[in-house]
Structure 1
Amino acid sequence: MDIKQLTTRSKIAAQQMLCSTSAQKDQCLDILAQKLVERKAEIFAANQEDVRQAKAAGRSEAFLGKLMVSESSFSAMSEGLSVIRRHPDPVGQILDSRDLNCGAHLDKVSVPIGVIGVIYESRPNVTIDAAALCLKSSNAVILKGGSDALATNRVLASCLLEAVQESGLPDFAVQFIDSADRALVLDLLHQHAAVDLIIPRGGKELVEFVRSNSQIPVLSHAEGLDHLYIDRSADRSIISSVILNSKTQNPGVCNSLDTILIHRDIAAEVLPLLACDLWKVSVQLRCDEESYQILARSSDQELLHRSTDQDFDTEHLALIANVAVVGSVEEAVSFINQHGSQHTEAILATDESAITLFTQAVDAAAVMVNCSTRLHDGGVFGMGAEMGIATGKLHARGPVGLRELCSYRYVVRGQGILRT
């Protein structure tokens, strides 16, 4: 496969997409939604084959869970597509407007980024989510999915290509790299003359590989490492429910909880009750010495362990949670900023001064106040689907939706105005 030729076609398509209308883009998404329904049985059959091969290769249950297309995940994919379709067109929006002293008028106008390469692993839904977001925002997209989901992605990509053609959008607005050859990823990362942005979706190893090898700007996060701090003012009635949801609703994702921090003043009161609730659902606790001593007299010793230094820098993606005792909200913030990944951090508190300090001082893309970390999600935020959650500070942070897939240009209007 000639990646340079492929990216050149994408660049031409991106230029053509600048003139695409909102009606064309919405029609494309409508056709795509219908294609998914019509070919649902084919999608499921291909996915079953992918899952069968992944099981034979000894893939983990967590991996298989991401790879599998279920009735609920298919419905979520379709609903995400519908939400994207209903969003207003993010292109051509006037972001700022002013009259200049020279007599000209200045508009700051949203425009597409151009060509976006999306490199992802085992989640087939990314094929649809990424393409829909890029098309709605008038970007051309190159999709490179993982080899484990190749059969499923082939069917989904076929639906996409048919929808693009039938709606009259540029033929190469969506391109799918139909190959398991990993060398093509490196080749794609070197096409800086045609590709404007790379977005990796996957585990730490993939993201770090892309960051290290790309000659193109990268928008990504590496891992979750999410914390929840229980302040001494926390409402006791919500502690267990929020932490259980953060940790156990879907432990294999980046917005699941990894570390529980608790104020020393309430640790002896709250920890045993919280641990009991977590142990009921088989959550292993890896505790610093102070929290370990508090829990050492508890009944479930099999799920109680002393933590290592490495634990607090590990995204577990499993039913494992670290626990540490801190003396203040300031100490909690310091701990998080040392060990966190700037992804999602949470506080349980009723003391407004503690909440204000935490939300201002903690370095994260999203801060949850008396809420589950699992709420940090583009779908929950009303974006439909998302490209992922960006933890950097340029140019987007948090869920990457339609607006985050746009840049801007300045348009200056006048009548023969010169600079003096």
Structure 2
Amino acid sequence: MTEIFDGAMELQNAVADVLRRAQSAKRTLAIAPTKQKNDALRKMGEALWADRAAILAANAADVAAAREAGQPEARIDRLALDERRIEQMVDGLEALIELPDPVGEQMEHFVRPNGLDIRKLRVPMGVVAMIYEARPNVTVDAAGLALKTGNVAVLRGSREALQSNQAIVRALHRGIATAGLPSDAVLLIERTERETVDFIIRARGLVDLAIPRGGEGLIRRVVENATVPVIETGVGNCHVYVDKEADFAKATPIVVNAKTHRPSVCNAAETLLVHQDVAKVWLPQAAKALRAKGVELRVCERAYAVLAEAGLTDGVEYATEEDWATEYLALTLAVRVVDSLNDAIAHIERYGTLHSEVIVTEDEAAAQQFLRRVDAAVVYHNASSRFTDGFEFGFGAEIGISTQKMHARGPMGLRELTSYKYVVHGDGQVRK
């Protein structure tokens, strides 16, 4: 470990101990039968619900501390739990039970002319380190997805959510143990010093995959400093483009939902692009609906002129260059009037983060051009960007939304947490 890590020895040893326990547990998890894993998932859900009062009490303490520290409301929304959110965690685990176990799945099978029988089979990744910020639901999602795929989850949450995560993991441990699997299948690193992140992402031989999930600073730090494999989950500067052939009855609900359904998450819309041919008629309607939900608007000069003519400049400011590149994670929306579909795509190419992009139009040719040309993990035609979510895609839950192009892209479910190996059967063949 001395060769792997730099930094304070005591902290290094604390992290190394957790990772070694994870390595030991992964041998059991890798060969655990589907029935036992599903039983563990069910028991985990039951334990979460049974412990909900303790979890909510721990979370209330975290939320109070966050408020006292002056954390923004968007971050507090991500941190806060209630019974409904705990119920959603349990539902996510139950949904995983119903999904096929990918481990052992035969991806390919072929026989070579020399008689070698070659099969390509899905296998667990091993030890998956999840590094994330103040979202306790991620603790359950990551634990459930990892366990179903025979992986060990090492969880490094943020200081703000520590008490919540501790209470959640205590419940998960009880459920896992009841099913006869090692409780070390899910491990929480309780030290929250920034250096622990560096220790984890440089622990070659102890961590098989690292997944950062959080703000731009966290993701960049992991991607730029890791020596273990990383799946990059990017920030979400997501756009909705309302085309000249848009159906307004669809456009307004889509935009309002994409912005306001849960503004603090990465698949919420941050910029609205409106074709000039419909701006004068439709934009005032949209602005009224958005302002009714408390959305502040940062608009280009053309959009401001339209709203001023309609007497709708309350809560509206001129946008700056910075606004087009900002992931607000709050009830703020940038608005730009564009000349054409090409201009909308050019704006997305310049400011987008390869996450989720939407076109609203009844013109099938325009829709197909947008869907083909826009480079993003998920592109939508006439639907809200809020559907970029593992649960909504039928994955049971997600461990993150990948904005990279290697191995995994978009909402990552069970298959994205597996690798593969080739299993070769012979009958005495030797290479000549």
Verify same fold: TM over 0.5: yes
1:172 aligns with 2:184: yes
Q: Following TM superposition, by how much is the alpha carbon of 1:112 offset from its aligned partner in structure 2, in angstroms?
A: 0.7
2:424 to 412, 415, 420: 412
Deviations 1:284-321 (A, max 9, x none): 22122222222222323232221111110000111111
How many positions carry a matched residue from both structures? 420
The structural deviation recorded for 1:128 is 1.2
Question: Who is 2:287 aligned against?
Answer: 275
Quote the Cα distance in structure 2 between the aligned partners of 1:43 and 1:277: 37
How far the C-alpha of 1:401 sits from its partner, in A, is: 0.8
Give the stretch that moved more between structures: 270-279 or 376-385: 270-279
Match of 2:303 in 1: 291
1:351 aligns with 2:363: yes
Equivalent position to 2:332, from 300, 313, 320: 320
Match of 1:265 in 2: 277
**Secondary structure of 1:418's aligned partner:** coil
Correspondence list, 1:20-419, <5 A: 20-419=32-431
Structure 1 position 18, deviation (Å):
2.0
Q: What's the offset of the Cα at 1:328?
A: 2.2
The TM-score, its normalising length taken from structure 2, stands at 0.94
3-state SS of the aligned residue for 1:195? coil
1-structure distance, mates of 2:207, 2:292:
49
Q: 1:72 and 1:173 mapped to 2: Cα distance?
A: 26
Distance in 1 between the 2:182 and 2:289 partners?
55
Gaps of 5+ in 1: none
Is the 8 Å Cα contact of residues 102 and 419 (structure 1) preserved in structure 2?
A: no
**Are 2:263 and 2:329, in contact at CA under 8 Å, matched by a contact in 1?**
yes
Instruction: Report how far residue 181 of structure 1 moved.
Output: 2.6
Aligned-residue offset at 1:417: 2.5
8 Å Cα contact 2:287-2:312 kept in structure 1: no
- Structure 1 residue ranges, 4+ long, deviating more than 6 angstroms after superposition: none
- Deviation (angstroms), 1:201: 1.8
Mapped partners of 1:42, 1:272: distance in 2: 47
Could you state the TM-score of these two structures normalised by the residue count of structure 1? 0.96
Q: Secondary structure at the match of 1:109?
A: strand
* Amino acid across the alignment from 2:72: S
What is the rounded CA distance, in whole Å, between the counterparts of 2:51 and 2:248 in structure 1? 49
- Following TM superposition, by how much is the alpha carbon of 1:251 offset from its aligned partner in structure 2, in angstroms? 0.9
1:261 and 1:55 map into 2 onto residues whose CA distance is 34
SS in structure 1 of the partner of residue 413 of structure 2: coil
In structure 1, what residue type is equivalent to 2:175? Answer: A
Contact 2:284 2:312 in 1 (8 A): no
Q: CA deviation at 1:16?
A: 2.9
* Deviation, structure 1 residue 186: 1.7
Sequence identity percentage: 39
Aligned-partner residue type, residue 80 of structure 2: M
Instruction: Kindly state the Cα deviation for residue 20 of structure 1 after the two structures are TM-superposed.
Output: 1.1
Query: How large is the RMSD of aligned CA atoms in angstroms?
Result: 1.5
**d(CA) in 2 for partners of 1:266 and 1:54?**
43
Write the distance in 2 (CA, Å) between the matches of 1:381 and 1:18: 26
| Shift, 1:171, TM fit | 4.7
Residue identity in the other structure for 1:12:
S
Aligned equivalents of 1:33, 1:252: Cα separation in 2: 26
Q: Which amino acid aligns with 1:396?
A: A
